[in-house]
Amino acid sequence: DVKVTQSSRYLVKRTGEKVFLECVQDMDHENMFWYRQDPGLGLRLIYFSYDVKMKEKGDIPEGYSVSREKKERFSLILESASTNQTSMYLCASQSLAGGHEQYFGPGTRLTVT
Amino acid sequence: EDQVTQSPEALRLQEGESSSLNCSYTVSGLRGLFWYRQDPGKGPEFLFTLYSAGEEKEKERLKATLTKKESFLHITAPKPEDSATYLCAVRRGSTLGRLYFGRGTQLTVWP
């Protein structure tokens, strides 16, 4: 079974803090994705990566950066957390061989106060 | 613009009352249509992929179908444990594998 893990299930941070969210997948997938999910807005893509050290902006990259130094690990960084970044953050991985379905982690519920 | 639209936004069914969820899409060059189930507070769980019009996939009480403009997720004799949000997503060509998601249909099945 594909396993995608995220470093925290719940996280509370203060405005202005630098926040790191980590995602690890164990299936040697090429692609990894970071989304945020808010009520009424659905899943919105923040960034994705198609290879080590490679990244592409999604629809809402402002206020975020990413890092992929190893194939299995993809980090999302909030440089200076703000209250409007309070959200559920979901990581996904995807193989380019086969069906291209994405497999999601359990999510991190981030609250910025 | 929205490429994937799901309807209805919310659906309440009595246990055993069959129904369908709709996912309409406007992308050209479809490379796959994906259905996911998401329970509250959890990540989406992959259900099916459909690639071409006329294709069908089944899993327990769920059956997904695809036409050139939309997909249906049919739920036959649902049970309370089928309550969840169902998400639809599409993949276009030349997008590095990116999926475009609809906003989901929240299904509640009551006993």
Question: Using omega within 30 degrees of 0 as the cis cutoff, is the peptide bond preceding B8 cis?
Answer: yes
Of A4, A16, A17, give the one whose Cα is nearest residue A74.
A4
Of B13, B16, B12, give the one whose Cα is nearest residue B77.
B16
Contacts of B102 in chain A (CB under 8 A): 42
Is residue A4 within 8 A of residue A104, CB to CB? The reply is: yes
Residue B52 near chain A (CB below 8 Å):
no
Residue B87 near chain A (CB below 8 Å):
yes
Q: Please check the confidence at residue B95 and state whether its pLDDT lies above 80.
A: no
Q: Which of A4, A43, A107 sits opposite B42 (nearest CB)?
A: A107
Categorize the per-residue pLDDT at B2 as very low, low, confident or very high, splitting at 50, 70 and 90: low
Compute the distance between CA of residue A8 and CA of residue B43 in angstroms, rounded to an integer.
13
Q: Which residues contact A97 (CB under 8 A, 6 or more apart)?
A: none
Categorize the per-residue pLDDT at B84 as very low, low, confident or very high, splitting at 50, 70 and 90: very high
Categorize the per-residue pLDDT at B7 as very low, low, confident or very high, splitting at 50, 70 and 90: very high
Compute the distance between CA of residue A37 and CA of residue B103 in angstroms, rounded to an integer.
10
DSSP class of residue A73?
A: E
* A11 phi, psi to nearest 5 deg: -145, 135
Mean pLDDT calculated for residue range B91-96 = 78
Mean pLDDT calculated for residue range B46-60 = 95
Compute the distance between CA of residue A17 and CA of residue B105 in angstroms, rounded to an integer.
35
Tell me the shortest Cα–Cα distance from A40 to chain B, in angstroms.
7
Is residue B27 within 8 A of residue B90, CB to CB? The reply is: yes
Q: Mean pLDDT lowest for which of A5-14, B24-33, B92-101? A: B92-101
Compute the distance between CA of residue B9 and CA of residue A105 in angstroms, rounded to an integer.
24
Residue A75 near chain B (CB below 8 Å):
no
Residue A68, amino acid:
R
Count of other CB atoms within 10 angstroms of residue A108: 23
**A43: helix, coil or strand?**
strand
Q: Which pLDDT tens digits describe chain A residue by residue (113 residues)?
A: 779 999 999 999 999 999 999 999 999 999 999 999 999 899 999 999 999 999 999 999 999 999 999 999 999 999 999 999 999 999 999 998 878 899 999 999 999 99
Tell me the shortest Cα–Cα distance from A41 to chain B, in angstroms.
7
Contacts of B87 in chain A (CB under 8 A): 42-43
Specify the length of chain B in residues.
111
Is residue A34 within 8 A of residue A89, CB to CB? The reply is: yes
Q: Which residue has the higher pLDDT, B87 or B3?
A: B87
Do β-strands B99-101 and B19-25 pair in parallel, antiparallel, or remain unpaired? Answer: unpaired
Q: Which residue has the higher pLDDT, A34 or B92?
A: A34
